[in-house]
Structure 1
Amino acid sequence: MTDLAGLAALTALCPPPAVVPPAPDWPRAEVLLGMRLPRDYKELVAVYGPGEFCDFLTLYRPGALSEWVDLTGPMPARLRAQLDAGRTADTHRRGTLPCATEDLLAMGVTGNGHYLFWDTRPRDAPDRWTVAVTERLGAPWFTYSGSVTTFLVDVLRGTLHVPLFPRDLLADGPAFTPSRLRSRVPVTAPSTRPPVDTSTIRTWARANGYDVPDRGRVPIAILEAWVAATHSE
C-alpha cells in the first residue's frame, strides 16, 4: 500500500477533524532529531493533528504542548535509556529487542502505557521504517513490517490484532478524537510576569460571566480560561 493509498484508506475508515492546527515545522524537527522522518507520518500528522485513535493510541508530534507526547522533546531519549538500563539489569531479556536501542525511536503511546517505536533502519530511508510495540518497555515486543499509517489502517479495520492492545478496542468503531487545544504558557517556560493575586482572576471571571466562589481554590477551567484570554494580550 502506497503512502497516499494508506492515508486515503485511513481517512475513509476514520474521518479526521474538519479543522486542525498548522503542521509542525518539519525541517526544524528533522534537524533536532538528526534524521529525516517518514513521509507518511508527516502527512498523517498534518491531516489529523493531535489527538487519540479510539481514545487509546496517541502519536507523538514535534513541538507538542506536553513533553510526554513531544517527538522532539525528552521522551524518546528517556525511553531509549530505559531500554538500555533494562537490558543491562535483566540478562534474560537480552536479544528480545527487535533491533539495537540506538535504532529505536519512540513515536507513540497507548492508554495502557505501551509504546510505539520506529525501527529506523535504514536511517537514510525513513519511508522503509517499520513499527514495533512494547509492553511497558519490557518483553514481549510486537513488530509490524509496514509504515505507521498502514499499521493504523490494519488495526482500525480489525485485520491486525496487536496482543498488547485490548480486544474490545473497536467496540465503538474506529474513531479519532482531537486533543483539546489551548493557548497557554508552557509549564516549563519561565514567567516574565509578576505573580497574579487570585482576586484579580476572580474579578476577571465574574466580568466574563463565570460563577466563581469568593474563597477557596479557583476552578481549573476558570484558570485555564483566564490564562488563554490574558496570555495573548
Structure 2
Amino acid sequence: MTSLAALTALCMPPAVVPPAPDWSQIEDTLGMPLPQDYKDLITTYGPGQFGGFITLCQPYVPSEWADLTGPMPARLRQQIEEVRQAARDPWQLPQSPENLFAMGVTGNGDYLFWVTQPADSPDRWIVAVNEALRASWFAYNGSVTEFLVSVLSGTTSVPMFPADLLDHTPAFIPSTLESSTPAAAARTSVSTRAIRAWANANGYDLPERGRIPSEIIDAWKRENPS
C-alpha cells in the first residue's frame, strides 16, 4: 500500500477538490523541484486540515502565512535565526537555515519544514518540525505523506504535539480559502505565534497566552511589512 493510500484510508479526501495546479509553473516560481508525494497529496485533498491540527501550505493562496510560493518560507528562516541568535544561549539548528523550507503549520503554531537535501532529489527530503520558532525540533525520516500517516495512526509521537491529538478519529476537514473559513483561522493563529516570537526576541514582556497589545502588533507590522 502506498503512503497516500494509507492516508486516504485514515482520512477520507473530500468528494470535490479544486483543479490540480500547474506544478511545472510552481516549481519554476520556487526555483526548485517539489516532492511527488506532496503534489499528489495536494491534488487529492486540496486545502484543509488533517486531524483538526495540521495544515499544509498551498501554492498561490491569498494568505501569505499559508502560501507555499510567497515570502513566508524565507521569512520563517530569517525569524528562526533571529530568535536563535537573540537567545541567551543560542541553540543549534538541525540543518542550515537555507536547507529548511516551510510547508506546513499546526494549530499550536508549530512549523513543518522540508529538509531540502539533496537539493535535486526532493523525494528523499525528510520532515522537520519546529516548536513555534523555539529551540525544540523533531525530525521524521520520511516524506510529508508518510509523516501524516505515522502521526495520525499513532505510530509516531511528536513531542511538541498535544497528547490528546488522537482522542478523536483522524479526519480531513476541507476548507475554501475565504476569510470566513477554518483556513483563515489557521492563518490568524500562525500570525499570532510569529508576533509573539518576534516580540519576545525583541525585548517585549509578552505572556504566552492572552491578547497581544496593539502597540506590539503595530511594531511587528513595521518590521514585517506585507
Shift of 1:181: 4.8
Q: Is the 8 A contact 2:61 2:177 kept in 1?
A: no
Percent identical among aligned pairs is: 63
Question: Which residue type is aligned with residue 171 of structure 2?
Answer: A
**1:202-231 C-alpha deviation (Å, 9 max, x unpaired):** xxxxxxxxxxxxxxxxxxxxxxxxxxxxxx
2:32 paired with 1:29: no
Q: Is the 8 A contact 1:131 1:148 kept in 2?
A: yes
**1:57-105 C-alpha deviation (Å, 9 max, x unpaired):** 100011113211010011111101101212322362342x110000000
Other structure's SS at 1:68 match: coil
Unaligned runs of 5+ in 1: 184-233
Question: Which residue type is aligned with residue 179 of structure 1?
Answer: S
2:155 paired with 1:155: no
1:214-229 aligned at under 5 Å gives the runs none
State the distance in 2 between where 1:158 and 1:109 align: 19
2:125 paired with 1:132: no
Which of 1 and 2 has higher RCO (CA within 8 Å, sep 6+)? 2
2:83 paired with 1:83: no
Question: Which residue type is aligned with residue 108 of structure 2?
Answer: N
State the distance in 2 between where 1:124 and 1:37 align: 9
Q: Is the 8 A contact 2:124 2:142 kept in 1?
A: yes
Count the aligned residue pairs. Answer: 180
2:106 paired with 1:119: no
**1:34-64 C-alpha deviation (Å, 9 max, x unpaired):** 1000000000000000000111110001111
The aligned residue for residue 68 of structure 1 is: 65
Query: Measured at CA, do residues 100 and 181 of structure 1 come closer, stay the same or move farther in structure 2, by a change above 3 Å?
Result: closer
Shift of 1:29: 1.3
Aligned Cα root-mean-square deviation (Å): 1.7
Among 8, 27, 48, the alignment partner of 1:11 is: 8
Shift of 1:16: 0.4
State the distance in 2 between where 1:63 and 1:181 align: 11
Structure number with larger C-alpha Rg: 1
Q: Is the 8 A contact 2:61 2:67 kept in 1?
A: yes
The aligned residue for residue 216 of structure 2 is: none
1:37-116 aligned at under 5 Å gives the runs 37-90=34-87, 92-95=89-92, 97-116=93-112
State the distance in 2 between where 1:181 and 1:138 align: 28
The alignment's TM-score, normalised by the length of structure 1, stands at: 0.74
Query: Measured at CA, do residues 181 and 69 of structure 1 come closer, stay the same or move farther in structure 2, by a change above 3 Å?
Result: closer
Shift of 1:25: 1.9
State the distance in 1 between where 2:6 and 2:60 align: 27
